[in-house]
Amino acid sequence: MPRSVKIFFDGGCRPNPGAMETAVVAGGKTIFARDLGHGTSEDAEWLALIHALTIARSLGRPDFVLLGDAANVIAKANGTLPCREAGRGHLERFRSLAGPAYPRVRHIKRTQNLAGIALARLHGR
């Protein structure tokens, strides 16, 4: 039985609010997206989650898990925390991309998030 593909995601902005960027790590490859416009750190985390889902779907593997350290975004994506007006557009886009085969989205510690580590290294932190 094949193991689930782990796809790590992280988003950030500098300053907050500010210029947004994301990183996704899948299969040992890191994919950065920069110059994503102006927004908050939560907006950047949503964009990272959406980007991770897009990459997961492109791999053609039905069994994957999306892993990130943004507890509030993950809780909203999983429906365990209500999504306020500001994030509702992101949630709707995520759900639309997810379709009926809703993906597993899990919270991990920041120190375990390969995408967050990649973003920090990109900026020499």
Task: Write down the domain spans for the chain.
Answer: 5-124
pLDDT in tens, 76-112: 999 999 988 777 899 999 999 998 888 999 999 999 9
Q: How far is CA 107 from the centre of its chain?
A: 11
What is the CATH number assigned to the segment(s) 5-124?
Answer: 3.30.420.10
Residues 6+ apart with CB under 8 A from 3: 63
pLDDT in tens, 42-88: 999 999 999 999 999 999 888 899 999 999 999 999 999 998 877 78
Q: Is 120 exposed, middle or buried (0-12, 13-18, 19+ CB in 10 A)?
A: middle
Using the Cα atoms of residue 64, residue 32, residue 36 and residue 42 in order, give the sign of their dihedral.
positive
